[in-house]
A and B are shown apart, each in its own frame.
Chain A
């Protein structure tokens, strides 16, 4: 070996020591001088980092006791497994999250005044996933209302109005096609967009999602072709209807991704996109000035069946194992202030969760509010299948031409297998 790498090694080691010393010094200073306790706050929704950072800075300045550390990258499952979860979190509430709650990992917040301000139907929405008995473990903070995003200018140009029945909808699509306009922009390459869009919208519009899952959970291991309820049986009809939507998509839909869909909508390449409100700011980023609106996908002939797809975009929770439960509660109180919570929901196009939350006024989502207030909504059927079953992939296979019966039978057997080993 030549001497140069060795000397480099020595310098770097010296450098490392110095850096380590400096780090230790600052660490000690940070702790000693301010005397604040560190509270770890987990929040991993990328689009809102800057906004959250600003709120945390505000909270830090408002009180002398705690310093809030913004954790954006830790693995939550690993944190819970090591009994070292964050102190508090503001996170998407889904099936994977609900496991921590179901097994008692989240603390009871029912004594907080903030908990009583949440709409009862929205509290109940959190309980579509298995709750932990006797606890209010999560405070829903924002709700996403998703439906069909449509380009208002294209609709106006062709003299179209928002359809309220399936036949009106297909007629509208045919009319657009005849005029040379792509009715729906498909992004099938990202399987999740199929789940969230055409699948959830058709299923939610045709079956009672909550009841169906209660039934198949009850049946468990026996779910299959001979059971009273099964995926093959109950989903056959909705899936067939969903597939009727395929001819209304552009030809290269199988190769297009979520981001491309947003760009295409901004450029007026298609009239509709089956996406949630999170796509609206992305569409706006292209700065084409294209005006969007939203309406629920009609899948039956009865306008009374119209519903929107909702999910708890963000919820606040504090783990049982939090080191700083008091500091965590301070944060919850801060985030639940109307000026903080409502501002977020208005700015980021979500729906409020409290009884006194102002209704949405942004023209892009304004049509969602009445459905939300009248509880004409469902949680996406795809949101109740554990990640361990690759349903999004099965669905993609169906859309790409596989027989629905084959994939639904597979889902039945996966579901039964899950119940068998539980």
Chain B
């Protein structure tokens, strides 16, 4: 991440600055082997649990394996079938659109909440805790609670108030169910984004604002010309992490809409996992490989777009 930024994230961690990292210091001749020792277990675990299975799985994407028993090589048939599969192409389009909308909404709300929560307000600590609470609840539980709200509470309120448009559950509406997904994902993922923004905003030194005030800058232009440029690095982090998370949306989708109504909200991760369960191992491995490549392309694109422009505080 650091190579994409113009300044190292020094300012965000002032407490730990007492021990300078030896890697960055040009005149430290030897690197203490203890660092490798620290890295090794994680590297080993990652290799065994992620890299090796991924490579093996990639191999299976050229077979008709059901994950068990005999299999035969089928060449690139699975890949051809993936691109011909209306359901899978639909899932890609839905997932990309959904991730895009959600990442924008989540970041906008989280950013303005962070502005509010770093300002000198009453009950700042209490409010911060309240806003971060959704983070500790597991996705599937959130999904079930919201499912109840959307299919019972919201229609009941709408009926009392005479709002016809909302008197039927939006989860049962093919054209609106995605909105429910965006709302619930935003609700549950605003906290981590919020925390990162708060961390970013506290690094902007007060003097800059004072200087701006002396020059007569309005609050809006302070936000636009000072705050945003100085925390742009955090925006990048949140967008990339958020986008990646929404691309993999699974648990909330399963709990809330189960890909429905119809196939209106079926995500890529869902088709992959459902396929595995249905014994379509080789085929969904091909799908997963395609998904992996697409995710990488998106990440590279995001990094390119922001290279050299991101800043982490002053």
Contact = CB atoms under 8 A, between A and B. Distances in A.
Interface of A: 77-78, 80-81, 96, 99-100, 103-105, 188-189, 191, 252, 254-257, 386-390, 393-394, 396-398, 400-402, 407, 410, 413-414, 417-418, 420-422
A90 B85 CA distance: 36
Contacts of B77: 420-421
B155 interface: yes
26 contacts: A77-B67, A77-B277, A81-B67, A81-B68, A96-B278, A99-B68, A105-B68, A189-B172, A255-B152, A255-B169, A386-B279, A387-B275, A387-B277, A387-B279, A387-B280, A388-B275, A388-B280, A394-B262, A397-B174, A397-B264, A400-B261, A410-B87, A413-B84, A417-B81, A420-B81, A421-B77
A400 B171 contact: no
A252 B174 CA distance: 15
A97 B266 CA distance: 25
Contact of B260 (A81, A100, A191, A418): A191
B64 interface: yes
Contacts of B171: 189, 255
B70 A103 contact: yes
A99 B262 contact: no
A255 B172 contact: yes
Interface of B: 64, 66-70, 74, 77-78, 81, 84-87, 151-152, 155, 168-169, 171-172, 174, 258-264, 266, 271, 274-280, 282-284
Contacts of A420: 77, 81
Given A254-B172, A388-B274, A421-B77, A413 B86 contact: yes
B74 A397 contact: no
A410 B84 CA distance: 11
Contact of B259 (A81, A252, A257, A393): A393
Contacts of A252: 155, 168-169
A255 B151 contact: yes
A172 to B, nearest CB: 27
A77 B274 CA distance: 13
Nearest to B259: A393
Nearest to A409: B86
A390 B274 contact: yes
B279 A77 contact: yes
Contacts of A397: 174, 260-264
Nearest to B74: A421
A103 B66 CA distance: 10
Contacts of B276: 77
B81 A100 contact: no
A400 B264 CA distance: 11
B78 A421 contact: yes
Nearest to A251: B168
Given A189-B171, A255-B169, A390 B68 contact: no
A410 B174 CA distance: 17
A402 B262 contact: yes
A379 to B, nearest CB: 18
Contacts of A389: 87, 278
Contacts of A413: 84, 86
A420 B76 CA distance: 11
B277 A254 contact: no
Contact of B151 (A78, A105, A189): A189
Contacts of A189: 151, 169, 171-172
B54 to A, nearest CB: 16
A13 B70 CA distance: 45
Nearest to B283: A421
Given A100-B68, A255-B151, A390 B263 contact: yes
Contacts of B67: 77-78, 80-81
Contacts of A188: 172
A421 B77 CA distance: 6
